[in-house]
Structure 1
């Protein structure tokens, strides 16, 4: 696979931003276009965090997927309560830049979005908000209920180095106080209820059986909500914790699902 960096001045963020792009060995700038899978990092990660998955090469090589790794630090890839516009950056700049620079299947059927933890949740938010852009969601241990969080439910886990956990102050800097418009906008259950039926999505969810109980519970609730909304989904519970070892072990299933649901993959 070939790893590239695309850098430009982002109007949405107000400074220079970069994304990492991974091209499969079969990539060609001419001929049949390639579908794209956008993969979002977890809380505090960056555009290269996904590259730590040691099996990424083995699952990229046989496929025709272009991978794109944007970054938002700890800002959840949303337009947050502070005024940071990472949603606008992602859907209004990154997608267009990738379609302009590479031979992509530039339609919703050719685009998927996924991520780990914060990124897995953000992927679902953005697919539900922008059904005209994304047709597939692949979430590993998605922290879907971030907009619904009150106080610090993780206070007893703050010494666990496996997971970067936002304090109440850090969380409310992004989401605003309980009841804020930002929280309402990205409430995943509200987004599901109000989604445009003209834009069906396929959703792959997995969660580790050794993950935090709160994470397991919210993934089960999301599974049930997707079923109630008649959304196509694949849900897996498998061994593993809230870490990149778990993500790496799930890459084969994630890529099979993405390739089977994306145009020309």
Structure 2
């Protein structure tokens, strides 16, 4: 695998930003790891960080480069600050950035496939929310979306901590009334997805959460909502908290689960 640390200018955000990119490389003599790469353009997983992290965190807290080597899968890890992958009420247009500009730039910079069946998204916590939001908002672009301990119910974030945190949530999303039934509401996006089940291909969806995680109840509500709507969802839970030991294990499971052409 090759690791690229890429700094570039975003027209959408109006600023310079960064992403870390892992690119498949065919290797046979590297001690402790054998890398695989397709002869054509590489399939790509957009791997999203959580609220307190940045584009470096998956490399620092997991062995994602080693895990991905066996699959011939490129990994793109962008930096979105504390935006919740959203076109913020007061701030940057981060959903437009990750949904429109980022894939276009990544596919122009690197030898990545632009086919839906080769494009996937996953993330943890805030990034789990972002992954489901991208997959359900744009089912025509993503073959699969995976949430690890995702923030699946934005309305529950109001009054969750302290006044400063609630002000931050309001700067991102506006009021709880503005979230409910909007493109920032995963429950609403699921209903929209269900209404198109007969007319469009649905992305494969994966959700996991530890039973001791503070977001566990939110995840259960979302899982049950998907079940009521009869939307196929791979759901897994086991003992675990909101921490990197759990996510390091589960990202390996996500890579196994992805519908990669082998």
- Residues 19 and 71, structure 1, Cα contact 8 Å, conserved in 2: yes
Kindly state the Cα deviation for residue 37 of structure 1 after the two structures are TM-superposed. 0.5
Distance 1:96 1:183 in 2: 29
Q: 1:65 to 1:229 in 2, by over 3 A?
A: farther
Q: Counterpart of 1:163?
A: none
Kindly state the Cα deviation for residue 194 of structure 1 after the two structures are TM-superposed. 1.0
- From 200, 203, 223, the equivalent of 1:201 is 203
Q: Counterpart of 2:100?
A: 92
Distance 1:3 1:239 in 2: 33
Q: Counterpart of 1:230?
A: 230
Aligned residues: 250
Q: Counterpart of 1:139?
A: 147
Q: Counterpart of 2:68?
A: 60
Kindly state the Cα deviation for residue 107 of structure 1 after the two structures are TM-superposed. 1.6
Map Cα deviations across residues 129-175 of structure 1 (whole Å, 9 max, x no partner): 112221201110000111x13632245xx9xxxxxxx7111111111
Map Cα deviations across residues 113-137 of structure 1 (whole Å, 9 max, x no partner): 1100000011111111112221201
Matched ranges for 1:1-265 at <5 A: 1-26=1-26, 31-146=39-154, 148-149=155-156, 151-154=158-161, 167-180=165-178, 184-195=182-193, 196-197=196-197, 198-212=200-214, 215-258=215-258, 261-262=259-260, 264-265=261-262
Kindly state the Cα deviation for residue 49 of structure 1 after the two structures are TM-superposed. 1.0
CA RMSD of aligned residues (A): 2.2
- Residues 175 and 183, structure 1, Cα contact 8 Å, conserved in 2: no
Flag structure 1 segments of 5+ consecutive residues without an equivalent. Answer: 159-165
How high is the TM-score relative to the length of structure 2? 0.87
**Higher relative contact order by CA 8 Å / sep ≥ 6: 1 or 2?**
1
Aligned residue for 1:112, secondary structure, equals strand
Distance 1:45 1:54 in 2: 13
Q: Counterpart of 2:29?
A: none
Distance 1:204 1:150 in 2: 22
Distance 2:103 2:180 in 1: 23
- Residues 157 and 169, structure 2, Cα contact 8 Å, conserved in 1: no
Kindly state the Cα deviation for residue 238 of structure 1 after the two structures are TM-superposed. 1.7
Kindly state the Cα deviation for residue 181 of structure 1 after the two structures are TM-superposed. 5.9
- Residues 36 and 70, structure 2, Cα contact 8 Å, conserved in 1: no
Kindly state the Cα deviation for residue 53 of structure 1 after the two structures are TM-superposed. 3.1
Map Cα deviations across residues 100-123 of structure 1 (whole Å, 9 max, x no partner): 222222121111111000000111
